[in-house]
Amino acid sequence: MFNRVVEAYERIRKVVNRTPVMTSSTLDMMTGAMCFFKCENFQKAGAFKFRGAYNALSQLSPRQKEKGVITHSSGNHAQALALAAKLMDIKAVIVMPENAPKVKVAATKGYGAEVVFCSSSPRDREGVAQALVERFGYALIHPSNDLEIIAGAGTVAFEFLKEVGELDVVFCPVGGGGLLSGTAVAAKGLFPAVKVIGVEPQNADDAYRSLKVGRILPMEDPDTIADGLRSSLGSNTFRIIRENVDEIVTVSEGEIVDAMQFLWERMKLVVEPSGAVSLAGVLSGQVDLGSERVGIIISGGNVDVTDFFIRLRRRIVA
């Protein structure tokens, strides 16, 4: 699988943003560690998802490209696939839950994709997408369980560790598990001794529980502010995570918002709740950091700030 990440990187590196690595002396003081943030909120379409989407689409046959692609996603994969499809002139259909953030729906449509709504149940999403595949012959690009999606996601850690060198531990959010799978494969492929920690919301802790009992325990419609992490592990991500990830820790909703506020106020980074989960894992103190070199993956920055700006405009003196 590591070779697949390296190949994916060769394929996509000229198109994706090489996102910056940031540090915070405040956080280093708080933790006693040297922390490095890989800022995928600065990726095209606002999240790491663009890497996997572009990688997966570039592997399709000419016939598949002609028919178009479909996926189901609460938002970031939707936007990413829509943008990647637009860049390659491929038709994209996105099945989105009705409760997806408006800003993500708008951006997906803005990239020219066709949006089909479904209920917020993961089963319903998959059913709706499957019916359209059967009817129109679209290629289904699963948001996390597809191996090309995982390899693309792995390029985040590949690029990150190529830049900063060996790390002792890397914290990574886990929802469907594509990013965590790719991160574990890439990080350990480069530096076998690096520890990889998955961080998951307590309110959507299917990965934590699945790893514990040794089989996939999907969750129906979990309620967490980290909207990008509501999906459950799939067959491939479960297997890769079980083999390569050292530990999964869970964090409360309050810890997620606290981490997000730190990133906004202290580091001036617009990060969405899902993107702040890995920092929440660091700050939760569940993993002893000593004076280690710590990697923290910020997965995305697509958060709705419409209300904030409506309020700000009310303060304007004409």
User: Cα-atom radius of gyration of the chain, to the nearest Å?
Assistant: 19
> Does 101 contact a copy of itself by CB under 8 A?
no
Considering only 58-66, 72-80, 189-197, 257-265, which stretch makes contact with a copy of itself by CB under 8 A? 257-265
Among the listed residues 71, 108, 203, 231, the single contact to a copy of itself using CB under 8 A = 203
> Does 251 contact a copy of itself by CB under 8 A?
no
Q: Which two tokens stand for residue 102?
A: 């408006």
CB atoms within 10 A of CB 259: 25
Q: Which is nearer to a copy of itself, 122 or 234 (CB)?
A: 122
CB 172 within 8 A of CB 150: no
Considering only 68-76, 130-138, 152-160, 307-315, which stretch makes contact with a copy of itself by CB under 8 A? 307-315
Alpha helices, DSSP H, located in 88-121: 102-110
Is 212 catalytic? The answer is: no
Label residue 46 left, alpha or beta by phi (over 0 means left) and psi (-120 to 50 means alpha).
left
Q: Which is nearer to a copy of itself, 135 or 309 (CB)?
A: 309
Pick from 180, 160, 291: nearest CA to 231? 180
| Gap between the Cα atoms of 21 and 14, Å rounded | 18
Is 299 catalytic? The answer is: yes
* Residues 6+ away with beta carbon under 8 Å from 46: 76, 79, 107, 300, 301, 302
**Count of residues engaged in binding a copy of itself, rule: CB under 8 A:** 36
> Does 308 contact a copy of itself by CB under 8 A?
yes
> Does 318 contact a copy of itself by CB under 8 A?
yes
Long-range contacts of 92-95 (CB under 8 A, 24+ apart): 92/68, 93/68, 93/69, 93/132, 93/136, 93/138, 94/70, 95/70, 95/71, 95/125, 95/128, 95/129, 95/132
Q: Which is nearer to a copy of itself, 196 or 297 (CB)?
A: 297
CB 271 within 8 A of CB 260: yes
Among the listed residues 225, 283, 284, 289, the single contact to a copy of itself using CB under 8 A = 225
> Does 41 contact a copy of itself by CB under 8 A?
yes
**At its nearest, how many Å lie between a copy of itself and the CB of residue 39?**
8
Exactly one of 38, 44, 49, 104 is catalytic; name it. Answer: 49
> Does 311 contact a copy of itself by CB under 8 A?
yes
Q: Which is nearer to a copy of itself, 3 or 23 (CB)?
A: 23
Amino acid present at 62? P
> Does 223 contact a copy of itself by CB under 8 A?
yes
Among the listed residues 140, 270, 283, 289, the single contact to a copy of itself using CB under 8 A = 270
> Does 80 contact a copy of itself by CB under 8 A?
no
Q: Which residues pair with 95 in a beta bridge?
A: 72, 116
CB 163 within 8 A of CB 253: no
Among the listed residues 76, 224, 236, 250, the single contact to a copy of itself using CB under 8 A = 224
Pick from 229, 250, 235: nearest CA to 299? 229
> Does 264 contact a copy of itself by CB under 8 A?
yes
> Does 112 contact a copy of itself by CB under 8 A?
no
Point out which residues bind a copy of itself (CB under 8 A): 20, 22, 25, 41-42, 44, 46, 103, 203, 223-225, 253-254, 257, 260-261, 264-265, 267-271, 301, 305, 307-309, 311-313, 315-318
Active centre residues (catalytic): 49, 299
